[in-house]
Amino acid sequence: MTKPIIEVKNLAKSFGKNDVLKDITEQVNPGQVIVVIGPSGGGKSTFLRCLNLLETPNSGEVDFDGQNLTTLDTKKVNELREQMGMVFQGFNLFPNMTVLENIKLAPMKVKGMDDAAATKRAHELLDQVNLDDHADAFPSNLSGGQAQRVAIARALAMDPKVMLFDEPTSALDPEMVGEVLNVMQELANQGMTMVVVTHEMGFAKSVADRVWFMADGYIQENNTPDEFFSNPQTDRAKDFLSKILM
């Protein structure tokens, strides 16, 4: 039996009186693609951000590669974060740097990679997301789809073991959604472990190994995509699906 790469145990997180995550216990195995879906405000982003400790959980554990992140010191957490790439809804590219510099920054400053090696690696990654001709562009000159692909390349530059995606296509014009999903699908095909928050049901159906349905601070259902979409168990999920599949 494979050892899970991420194990979440009794995770809880609240903002003041707002209990966003109540009690979550799940695990992600290496190479798995998990799609997290659920109503807006249900805590999906918060959950994802707890995985790499951008948010500090109130209680419970997040184990990554066998280490409990919540007990580690800041330096160790920084090191483990390198291994969890994150892609945001709003891209969050560094606007004052070129595409190439965006990708090179962390490998050089965190891993101490030299400029030549980082540049070479950046070009490879840009090639992978079909954007090598935009290496010297500034983010403001990219379309949303291009920017998000650069953001993916930037996260990949740290050679992460896991990629976290928080609604990567929600801010895109419809005609650009495809190009980003294609890149993600390729990544999944290469065996990358991924946790993806998305409303793209097509992507969930064709790429996900498991679908987690999240609402009211709990993972309400954990199922295969086929089962989940054809035969949801909870009323909460049925209600949700009926609304978005109209």
Partner 1 sequence: MKKKLILLLALVLTVVTGFTALSSTTANAATDNSLTKVEKKGTLVMGTSPDYPPYEFQATVHGKSKIVGMDVAVGKKIAKDMGVKLVVKSMSFDSLLVALQTGKVDMVISGMNPTPARKKNVDFTHTYYQGGYSIVINKSDKGIYKDKDSFVGKTIGAQTGSTMYNESKKQTSGTTVKGMTSVSDLILALQSHKIQGVAMEKPSAQAYVANNKELAAIPSKFDLSASDTSASVAFAKGSDALVAKANKSVDQIKNQNLVNKDYLPAAGKYLKTNTVNTSMLHYWKAFLTGIEYTLIITVCSVFFGFIMGVILALARMGQGGVVRTGLRWLATAYVEFIRGTPMMVQVMFVYFGLGLIVNLPALTSGIIAISLNSGAYVAEYIRGGINSVDDGQTEAARSLGMSSGATMRFVVLPQALKNIWPSLGNEFITLIKDSSIVSIIGVSELIFQSNIVRSDTYRGVAPIAVIMVLYFVLTFTASRILNYFERRMQHD
Residues in the site for ligand ADP, rule: CB under 6 A?
15, 18, 20, 40-46
15 binds, among partner 1, ligand ADP, Mg ion, none (CB under 5 to 8 A by kind): ligand ADP
**Min CB(172)–ligand ADP separation in Å:** 17
Structure tokens at 217: 């601070």
Write out the binding residues for Mg ion, residues 30-69 only, by CB under 5 A: 45
Amino acid identity at 150: V
- Contacted by 59, from ligand ADP, partner 1, Mg ion, none: CB < 5 to 8 Å by type: none
| Cβ pair 98, 135 in contact under 8 A | yes
> CB of residue 209 vs Mg ion: minimum separation in angstroms?
22
**Which residues are at the interface with partner 1 (CB under 8 A)?**
52, 54, 74-75, 78-79, 81-86, 88, 90, 92-96, 105-106, 109-110, 138-140, 151, 154-155, 158, 164
- Rounded to whole angstroms, the Cα distance separating 99 from 143 reads 13
- Residue 46 binding partner per list partner 1, Mg ion, ligand ADP, none, with a CB distance cut-off of 5 to 8 Å that depends on partner kind: ligand ADP
Backbone angles phi, psi at 24, to 5 degrees: -120, 125
Question: Nearer to partner 1 by C-beta: 59 or 96?
Answer: 96
Helices (H), 190-234: 201-207, 225-230
Shortest spacing between CB 27 and partner 1, in angstroms: 21
Shortest CA distance to 50 belongs to which of 81, 73, 75?
Answer: 81
Residue 23 burial class via C-beta count within 10 angstroms: exposed 0-12, middle 13-18, buried 19 and up = middle
**In the complex, least distance from residue 208 CB atom to Mg ion, rounded to whole angstroms:** 18
User: Which residue is it, tokens 């930037």?
Assistant: 154
Helices 115-128 and 99-109 sit at what angle, rounded to 10 degrees? 130
- Report what 20 binds from partner 1, Mg ion, ligand ADP, none; CB cut-off 5-8 Å by kind: ligand ADP
Q: Under rule CB under 5 A, which residues in 2-21 are in contact with Mg ion? A: none
Pairing of strands 162-166, 218-223: unpaired
Q: Which is nearer to partner 1, 53 or 215 (CB)?
A: 53
Q: Which does 114 bind (CB under 5 to 8 A by kind): ligand ADP, Mg ion, partner 1, none?
A: none
Element (H, E) at 104: helix 99-109
Type of residue at 141: N
CB of 210 to partner 1, least distance (A): 23
